Amino acid sequence: SQKIEQNSEALNIQEGKTATLTCNYTNYSPAYLQWYRQDPGRGPVFLLLIRENEKEKRKERLKVTFDTTLKQSLFHITASQPADSATYLCALDPGSLTYKYIFGTGTRLKVLA
């Protein structure tokens, strides 16, 4: 069956360290993969998009990698801060012209001061 898994439901790390979140998928061949951040009581907010022909994308302290062979995306937050504490969701499109995204269940990140 088709599914997306994010490595862990919750992840605690110390401030200043690098947080690494994993998104694995099976039975999809997505052209794009996105990462969103969701804070309690709010809707998800877009962070980064990476295409299948891109290995890596960066934005400030954020970095995303996309390995279509492993069917995996890694999301890194360097020099993490308590303000980075949130739930992070990966989302992929199951194919062109499908007009929808499939979301992972999310990883709840807590950065400890």
By CB under 8 A, name the binding residues for other proteins: 31-32, 34, 36, 41-46, 49, 89, 91, 93, 96-106
Whether the CB-CB separation of 91 and 103 falls below 8 Å is answered with yes
- Cβ proximity to other proteins, 44 vs 73, nearer residue: 44
Full DSSP string of 16-48: TSPEEEEEEEES---SEEEEEEE-TTS--EEEE
Minimum Å distance from CB 38 to other proteins?
A: 8
Q: How far is the CB of 40 from other proteins (least distance, A)?
A: 11
Output 78 or 101, the one with its CB closest to other proteins.
101
Nearest distance from C-beta of residue 7 to other proteins, angstroms: 14
Task: Kindly state the greatest CA–CA separation across the chain.
Answer: 44
Minimum distance from CB of 77 to other proteins (Å)? 19
Beta carbon nearer to other proteins, 86 or 106: 106
Nearest to 35 by CA among 18, 14, 58, 15: 58
C-beta closer to other proteins: residue 43 or 69: 43
Note whether 106 and 50 are within 8 A (CB).
no
